[in-house]
Amino acid sequence: MRPLKLFLLYSLLGVAPAAAQQVQIGRGSVVAAVQHLKAGEFVWAPQISPSGPVLLIVNIKTQRAVLFRNGVPIAATTVSTGKPGHSTPVGVFTILQKQVEHYSSLYDSAPMPYMERLTWGGVALHAGKLPGYPASHGCIRLPADFAQRLYGVTSLGMTVVITNRDVTPRVAPSPQLVEPDATDQANVPIDWHPERSPTGPVSIVVSAADKRALILRNGVIIGSGPVVVDGGISGTWAYALRSVDSTGQHWIRMQLDSATASADVQPTEWQRFHSPDAFRKAVASVVDPGTTVVVTSDSLEASAAGAPVTVLEDSRD
C-alpha cells in the first residue's frame, strides 16, 4: 500500500499520528534545537553530514531522540515512549525488522506505520500520536514525517540506544580500542565466523563480568573472544566510531545508566582493554566508522550463533 493511502486509512480509522511539523534550525545546531521542540515537532538536516553510518539515541527522560550520521547530529525529534506498566526498555538495540505497513499483533491490530522492530517482544520505532508525554505500550512513537524519513536512512542491524539519563555525546581522538595482550587471561576461546553475516553495521559488546566480547554484524553474532578490562567498570557505556584519520580514531561516548556526566575519551582509557593479538586483528578487520562498542559490567546471556539478537536489553526504568 502506498504511504499516502496508508496515512489516509489511519486517518479514517481515527488513529492517525499527530500532525508532524518540521522546525528549521537556521544557523543553529541540531542539538541546540532539540531542547525547544514541542510535541510533534522535529528537525531534519541531513545535509550537515550527507553520508556515513547512522546511530539513533532515544532519551526516555526528555522524550527526545537525536539521529547521528558519521558521528554528526543530523536530526532530532520529539517522541512518546512507554507509559507506566508498559515501560520502554533501556539499553542498546539493533533494528531487527522493517515494514512500511505493519499492524500490532499484541494490541488490537493497532497500525504501526514505518515500523522498525527493536525486540521480538513488541518494542519498535513507528509513527504514532505524540501527546507530549509517555503514552505507548513500550514502543517509541515518532512524528509521521520524521518516521518516514528515518525509515529511508536506516538499515537492518543499525544501532539504537535507548536511555533514561541526560547524556551529551562528545567526540575525542583515541588509539585503537583494544590493545594487544599476549596472555589470554580469561582462557576464553576465540570464535570467528564473519561469513555468518558478510555485510552490515558492526556492534561490539564487551562484558567486564564475563571477560568476553561479542561481535555482531547486521544484528548477527559473527565472533567472540576474551577481553579483560583493568580496574572497575560500573554500569554501561556506549561508544560509536565517528571517523579514522591520520591522528587516529575518533569516538563518541555516552554513559547510559549513571548520573555521572560524559567526558572526552582519553588515550589512557583504551589502555585498560586487553585482548589476544589474533582476536584484536580479527575485530580490526571489520571495524569501520559507525561501529558501536558497548561496555557493560553485567554478564551477557548466551545467544545462538547466527541468530538476530538484541545487543543489550535492560527492563529497568
C-alpha span between 148 and 128 (Å, rounded): 11
Name the pLDDT band for 303 (thresholds 50, 70, 90).
very low
Long-range pairs, 85-88, Cβ under 8 A, ≥24: 86/136, 86/137, 86/138, 87/138, 87/315, 87/317, 88/58, 88/60, 88/123, 88/134, 88/136, 88/138, 88/139, 88/140, 88/162
**Residue 168: its pLDDT value, please?**
53
**Residue 304: its pLDDT value, please?**
44
Note the pLDDT tens digit of each residue in 201-252: 788 888 888 888 989 887 778 999 999 888 767 666 777 777 788 887 777 7
- Does position 107 have pLDDT exceeding 70, yes or no? no
Name the pLDDT band for 172 (thresholds 50, 70, 90).
low
- Does position 194 have pLDDT exceeding 60, yes or no? yes
C-alpha span between 258 and 254 (Å, rounded): 10
Select the more confidently predicted residue: 251 or 106. Answer: 251
Select the more confidently predicted residue: 23 or 126. Answer: 126
Select the more confidently predicted residue: 132 or 27. Answer: 132
Domains 3-163 and 170-298 share a fold: yes
Select the more confidently predicted residue: 121 or 77. Answer: 77
Average pLDDT along the chain: 77
For the chain, the helix, strand and coil percentages under 3-state DSSP, each to the nearest 5: 15, 35, 50
What is 170-298's CATH number?
2.40.440
**Residue 21: its pLDDT value, please?**
82
Q: Among the residues of 121-262, which ranges form H helices? A: 144-153
Mean pLDDT of 297-304: 60
CB proximity list for 293: less than 8 A, separation 6 or greater: 177, 203, 204, 205, 206, 238, 239, 240, 241
The domain 3-163 belongs to what CATH superfamily?
A: L,D-transpeptidase catalytic domain-like (2.40.440.10)
- Does position 297 have pLDDT exceeding 60, yes or no? yes
Mean pLDDT of 113-121: 89
Name the pLDDT band for 313 (thresholds 50, 70, 90).
low
The residue extents of the domains of the chain are 3-163, 170-298
